[in-house]
Structure 1
Amino acid sequence: MNNTKIDIHTALKKYFGFNKFKGLQEEVIESIVSGKDTFVIMPTGGGKSLCYQLPALVKEGTAIVVSPLIALMKNQVDAIRGLSSEIGIAHVLNSSLNKGEVAQVKSDIENGITKLLYVAPESLIKEEYVEFLQKQKISFVAIDEAHCISEWGHDFRPEYRNLRTIIEKIDKVPIIGLTATATEKVQEDILKTLGMSDAKTFKASFNRPNLFYEVRPKTSTINADIIRFINQHQGKSGIIYCLSRKKVEDIAQLLQVNGIKAVPYHAGLDAKTRAKHQDMFLMEDVDVVVATIAFGMGIDKPDVRFVIHHDIPKSLESYYQETGRAGRDGGEGICLAYYAYKDIEKLEKFLSGKPIAEQEIGNALLQEVVGYAETSMSRRKYLLHYFGEEFDDVNGLGANMDDNVRNPKSKHEAKAELKILLEVVRDSNQKYKSKEVVNTLTGNVNALLKSHKTDEQPFFGIGKKFDKGHWMALIRQALVGGFLKKEIEQYGVVKITEQGLNYIAKPVSFMMTDDHVYEEADSATIVTQTKASGASADAALVKLLKDLQKSVAKKNGVPPYAVFQETSLEDMALKYPITMDELKNIFGVGEGKARKFGKPFVELISKYVEENDIIRPDDFVVKSTGVNSGLKLYIIQNTDRKLPLEDIAKAKGLEFNELIEEMQRIVYSGTKLNIDYCIDEHLDEDQQEEIFDYFMESETDRIQDALDEFDGDYDEDELRLMRIKFISKVAN
C-alpha cells in the first residue's frame, strides 16, 4: 500500500500541482487504485472529480466516466487536456460528434493515449460502442451523478438503471459511484442497482459552514425584494433559480431593465446561446444568471456569492445541490429561498398526472421541502439531519449561519405533548406516515385509519386541543431530535427509536419552537416588501394615511380598502411618493387609481416629508418590463368583446386562477373591467346584490372572510369575480 501512496502523491503534484489531498480524497483514490468497488458521497466543491481523474491517469488502460450532462463533460475534458501535451488524453463520446471525430476517439483509445473517456449513458447503450470497448483495456468505470440511478434521487434518469448490465457486457472492472448528494434511501438504492453492496463507502460531511441559509415569504413584491438584494451585493456573482423557462426569461428581462447585468439560461435556448451565457458568467461579463436547474452542474466558479430560489425546488436534494454552488472558495455564500405553500400545491398538481408510485415519491420529497421552509429550528441542523448527519447547533461550524438561529422564535415546554406523540406512534403499530399520525392525534378519520380500525382506539383524537400544524412541527422536531425515524424501505413511515421508547418511560423537559406560518396571502391583500425585506414603513405616516383613507372613503361612499389597500399605504410610508408619477409606482396603484384618489395623499406625504426632514429613498422605483402591459391590454380588449374567460386564459397560456389574479391587479390599480357577461352566467341578480352589499359593508376584502361569511353558498371563483366587479364599479 505504501508505494501506492508515493505514486498518488507524486501524480497529484505532477498532474494537478497540489501538494496535499483535500478531505477524503486520498483514501478514496487508494481504494480505486487498488481495484475495489468504491462509493463516494461528497458535497459540491469537495473535489469529487479528482477522485477518479487521478486514478485514471496513473492506472493502465482507459477509464470510462458516465456523466449525464454534455456541458459538464466538455468542461472536464478541457480541464484534463490542459494537464497534458496529448490532446487525446481525454475524450467525449456522445451524440455531438461526427463520424471523423468518432474515428479519432477510437484510434486514441486503441493506441493507449486516452486515459479518460466521458460518455452519456445513452451512448454507452449503443451496440457499436459496446463491441468496440469490449476489445479495449478498461481500467474502471466511474458513474458520476450516481443519484440519477435512484427514483428517490432528485434527478432520476431511467437510462441509468441499466448501467450495471452494460458494464458487465464490456468487462468485469471495478465500479466507482460518485454523488454530491444522497439520503440514506438513495445510497441504498445506488448500491443495490449497481450490484456493489461490498463497495467501500466514503461519505464526507455535508456541512458547508460558510453558507448562510434564509427563507422569506414569497409575496407579490418578490421582484422588488430581489432587485434590492442584488443592489445590496453589487458587483458580486449570483444565480437565481426558477422552475419554468418563462419565469427565467421574465426575471432576466426585469433585472436587465433595472440596470442589473443578467442573462437567462435554460434548455429552451439553443446550445450556442447557452454556452455564450455560461461563458459570460464565468468571465464576469454579467453578474447574475437566471436559470432553470439545467444550469450549474459541474460549473466550477468558486466565487458565486449568492443563490436565490425564486421558486422552491421539488426536493431538498435539489436545494442542497443548487445552494452548494455558492461560496465554493470558502468565502461568503448567501442562500435565499422564497416560499409560499401555493408553489407546493402547484408542484403537487404537476405530479397528479404521473403514475401512482412516482406521485408518492414526489409528494414525500415535497413534504421534506415544506418541513425545511416552515421549520423554526436551525436550518443547517434540519438539512444535515435529512442527509443522515448529526449537527451540534450550538458549537458546530456555521452554527449561527441561518435566519432561524439569528432571529429565534419563542419556545415552549412540550414534554407532555412529545410523550403523547411517541405513544401514539408506538400504539398505532408504527405503520403510518406523518400525515396519518397527525390525523390520529387530531381525531380526523379517513379511509386508511378506518381500515386499520385506528379510529376505534382509545388514543384516537387525544391531541385534539392542538391543530395539525402544531403536531406536524413536533414530529419534525422529534425526528431531528432522534426520538423518531423515517423507515428507509417504506419511505416516510414514522417509527419510534430506542431513544423515543426511553423518553416515554422517563420524560424530561423538551422545548419546542413553533413553526413559521407563511400565511396564505390573498393576491389582492398581500404583504408588501416592507415586511418581506425587513425594511419598515414609517408608522407615524401610516397612521396619517389611514385617517386620510377613511375620510376619502366616507366622502366617496365606498369602503376604505376600495380607495387604497393597506399594503399600498404601507408602501407609500416606505417610499414617500410626492408626485403623481411617483405615486403610480406604489404597489397596487395604477394611473386610474392615482387620478381618482391620489391628489390628497401626495399632498399629505409631501407636507410630512418637509416637516420631518425625511430623506427619501432614491432606489424605490422598480421598472416594469412592459410584458404585463401587453397582457393587461389583451384582457381589457377581450372582456370588452365578451370573450369567455376560459378562452382568454387559454389564449395566453394561463391557468384560470392566474387570469383572475391578473384581472384583480388591473382593477386594484384603477382600471375598470366589465365582466358582467360572465358573472350573469353563474349568479342571478339577487345573489350578485347580496355579495355586492357584503363587500360594501365589510371592513376587509379578504376572500377567506367572504367564504366564512357565506359558509359554502358561493365558491371562491364566484366571490373573486364579484370582488373584481365591485372594485371596478365603486373604486375606479
Structure 2
Amino acid sequence: MKLTTHSMSLRRAARSLFGWSTLRPNQLAAMRAVMRRRDALVVLPTGAGKSAIYQIPASLIPGPTVVISPLLALQQDQIAALNERQRAELRAVRISSDESPAQQAEAIAEIRDGRAEFLFITPEQLANPDRLAEVRALKPALVAIDEAHCISAWGHDFRPDYLALGQLIEGIGRPPVVALTATASPPVRDDIVARLRLRDPEIVVSGLDRPNLFFEVAHCPTEDYRWRRLIALLRDEERPGIIYVPTRRAAEDLAARITDAGYPAQFYHGGMSASARARLHEAFLADQVPIMVATSAFGMGIDKPNIAWVVHMALPDSPDSYFQEIGRAGRDGQPARVLLLWQAEDVGLQRFFSGGLPDATELRDLAALLRQGPATKKELREVTGLGPRKLGQYLALLEQVGAAQPRARQRIG
C-alpha cells in the first residue's frame, strides 16, 4: 500500500512541479527508494532524468537536501533550472568558491529559514570543519551525489576530493544518500557503494541503449585515411558537434587544421585557464561554437540538446568514458551520429596514460610516510613527487587494504 501511495505522490509532484505527465519505470523505482529513506545507487543514461530522482522526492520530504557535484558550471545549470520554476519547494542556493562570505552566509540562512530546499555544495567546502558543522546544524533530510563515479579511483572522471565523502556525510548526520551517474561498470559501482558507505542500497541500473544514435567504428590504417573520414563527416553533417582527441596538443593542432579546411572550430583542454574554459563552455552551449575539438576535460556539464554528432579520433580510455562522451549527442531525441576512428597505435597511447599497474615501490614509500604521522595531501605530493590523480588512487588503494585511514580534512593544495 505504501508503495502505491508513494508512486501516486511522486506522479502528482512530477505533474505539478515539472509538468511531466509520466515517469519512467527506473526513475520511479529509484524515487520510491528515496521516499522509503533508503540509500540508492542510480545508473541511468545521459538525458534519462537523473536529477529528478532526488528533486521530486525532496519536494515531498521534510527537511533540506544537500547536493554534492564536482563542477561549478554543472551546479549552476541545475540551480538555474530549479529556480526558473519560481516554486519555494524547489528553490536552490549554493556554497562554493564563487560565492562571497556574505553570499555563503545568506545561503545557509535561506536553508535554515525554509526559504530554500536545495543546498548545492562542493566536497572542498564540506571538508572545512566549520562549514561541516553549519551544514550538520541544518539537519539535512537527504544527500544527493551527482556524477558519483568521480569517487572511484578507477573511474574515468576520478576526483580525489570525492574520496572523503563517505566520512563527510557521516559528519553531517548521515541522512539517506542517493548516488547518481550515467555510466558505471560493475567494479566502479562496487567502489561507489563502498566509498560512500551506502547501507544496503537500492541499485537501479538501466540499459545504455539510445535508439536515436547511429554508431560507426572505423579502423584507420593511416593518419591520412582518418583525416579524410573526419572531413567527410564535417561535409555531410549538421552542426554542432564534438571531436574528442587524446592529448592537449592534438586538440590545438586539429582545431587549427579543420578551421583552415573551412570548418571553424575551437579547442578545449585542461591546460587552459579556468576562465578560458568557462568562456568556451558557455559559447558552445549558446551555439556560438559549431565544432569543439577537445580532450576528455570537455565533459560534465555539457547539457546541450542539439549536438548532432560526436567523433572520437582515437580509442577512449575506457568504455565508461566512451558512453559518457557519446551520451552528449542527440539529447533532443533527433537522430545523431557517433563515429570512432581508431588506429592500433591508440592502444599503446592509452596504456601510457593509464600508467599500467601501481608501482610497488611508490606504494610502499607512501605507506611508510603515512605511518610517520598526519600529513596533508600537498605535503605528500611534495615528498613523493606523485601527481594529484596518482596520489589519490594510491591513497584509495591503501585505504581499501587497511594501510591508511580516510583523510576527510585533507585537501590537495
Matched with 1:100 is 102
Counterpart CA distance in 2 for 1:358 and 1:262 is: 44
Gapped regions of structure 1 (runs ≥ 5):
360-488, 490-732
Matched with 1:191 is 193
Q: Verify the 8 A CA contact 2:59 2:90 in the aligned structure 1.
A: no
| 1:273 and 2:276 correspond | yes
1:8 to 7, 10, 22: 10
Q: Verify the 8 A CA contact 2:89 2:117 in the aligned structure 1.
A: no
| 1:294 and 2:279 correspond | no
Which deviations, in whole Å up to 9, do the C-alpha atoms of 1:319-339 show, x marking residues without a partner?
A: 111111112233212111121
Q: CA deviation at 1:88?
A: 8.9
Counterpart CA distance in 1 for 2:252 and 2:223 is: 18
SS in 2 for 1:240: strand
Counterpart CA distance in 2 for 1:357 and 1:116 is: 44
Q: Verify the 8 A CA contact 1:23 1:46 in the aligned structure 2.
A: no
SS in 1 for 2:256: helix
Which deviations, in whole Å up to 9, do the C-alpha atoms of 1:563-605 show, x marking residues without a partner?
A: xxxxxxxxxxxxxxxxxxxxxxxxxxxxxxxxxxxxxxxxxxx
Matched with 2:235 is 231
Q: Verify the 8 A CA contact 1:42 1:179 in the aligned structure 2.
A: yes
Classify 1:72/1:357 alpha carbon distance in 2 versus 1 (closer, same or farther; 3 Å).
farther
Q: Which has the higher contact order (CA 8 A, sep 6+)?
A: 2
Equivalent residue letter for 1:37: D
Counterpart CA distance in 1 for 2:358 and 2:147 is: 25
Q: CA deviation at 1:4?
A: 2.7
Q: Verify the 8 A CA contact 2:82 2:90 in the aligned structure 1.
A: no
Q: CA deviation at 1:25?
A: 1.1
TM-score by length of 1: 0.47
Bigger Rg, which one: 1
Matched with 2:142 is 140
Q: Verify the 8 A CA contact 1:88 1:105 in the aligned structure 2.
A: no
Within 5 A, what are the aligned runs for 1:124-139? 124-139=126-141
Counterpart CA distance in 1 for 2:361 and 2:284 is: 36
More displaced 10-residue stretch of structure 1: 87-96 or 53-62: 87-96
2:214 to 212, 215, 226: 212
More displaced 10-residue stretch of structure 1: 343-352 or 196-205: 343-352
Gapped regions of structure 2 (runs ≥ 5):
363-399, 401-413
Counterpart CA distance in 2 for 1:90 and 1:227 is: 44
Q: CA deviation at 1:9?
A: 1.9
Q: CA deviation at 1:46?
A: 1.1
Counterpart CA distance in 1 for 2:307 and 2:357 is: 36
Matched with 1:27 is 29
Counterpart CA distance in 2 for 1:143 and 1:307 is: 27
Q: CA deviation at 1:243?
A: 2.0
Matched with 2:331 is 328
Matched with 2:265 is 262
Counterpart CA distance in 1 for 2:155 and 2:39 is: 21
| 1:114 and 2:116 correspond | yes
Counterpart CA distance in 2 for 1:6 and 1:187 is: 30
Which deviations, in whole Å up to 9, do the C-alpha atoms of 1:424-454 show, x marking residues without a partner?
A: xxxxxxxxxxxxxxxxxxxxxxxxxxxxxxx
Classify 1:147/1:127 alpha carbon distance in 2 versus 1 (closer, same or farther; 3 Å).
same
Classify 1:88/1:320 alpha carbon distance in 2 versus 1 (closer, same or farther; 3 Å).
closer
TM-score by length of 2: 0.81
Counterpart CA distance in 1 for 2:98 and 2:360 is: 34
Counterpart CA distance in 2 for 1:232 and 1:108 is: 51
| 1:284 and 2:287 correspond | yes
Within 5 A, what are the aligned runs for 1:33-432? 33-84=35-86, 89-218=91-220, 219-221=222-224, 222-233=226-237, 235-352=238-355, 355-356=358-359
Within 5 A, what are the aligned runs for 1:635-714? none
Q: CA deviation at 1:354?
A: 7.4
Classify 1:351/1:274 alpha carbon distance in 2 versus 1 (closer, same or farther; 3 Å).
closer
Q: Verify the 8 A CA contact 2:308 2:337 in the aligned structure 1.
A: yes
Counterpart CA distance in 2 for 1:270 and 1:195 is: 35
Q: Verify the 8 A CA contact 2:96 2:121 in the aligned structure 1.
A: yes
Counterpart CA distance in 1 for 2:89 and 2:38 is: 29
More helix, by proportion = 1
Equivalent residue letter for 1:137: K
Classify 1:129/1:88 alpha carbon distance in 2 versus 1 (closer, same or farther; 3 Å).
farther
Counterpart CA distance in 2 for 1:104 and 1:88 is: 17
SS in 2 for 1:46: coil
Counterpart CA distance in 2 for 1:331 and 1:267 is: 30
Classify 1:31/1:357 alpha carbon distance in 2 versus 1 (closer, same or farther; 3 Å).
farther
Equivalent residue letter for 2:41: F
Percent identical pairs in the alignment equals 36
Counterpart CA distance in 1 for 2:291 and 2:252 is: 13
More displaced 10-residue stretch of structure 1: 283-292 or 344-353: 344-353
Classify 1:173/1:119 alpha carbon distance in 2 versus 1 (closer, same or farther; 3 Å).
same
Classify 1:351/1:297 alpha carbon distance in 2 versus 1 (closer, same or farther; 3 Å).
closer
Matched with 1:492 is none
Q: CA deviation at 1:263?
A: 2.0
Classify 1:115/1:357 alpha carbon distance in 2 versus 1 (closer, same or farther; 3 Å).
farther
Equivalent residue letter for 1:130: L
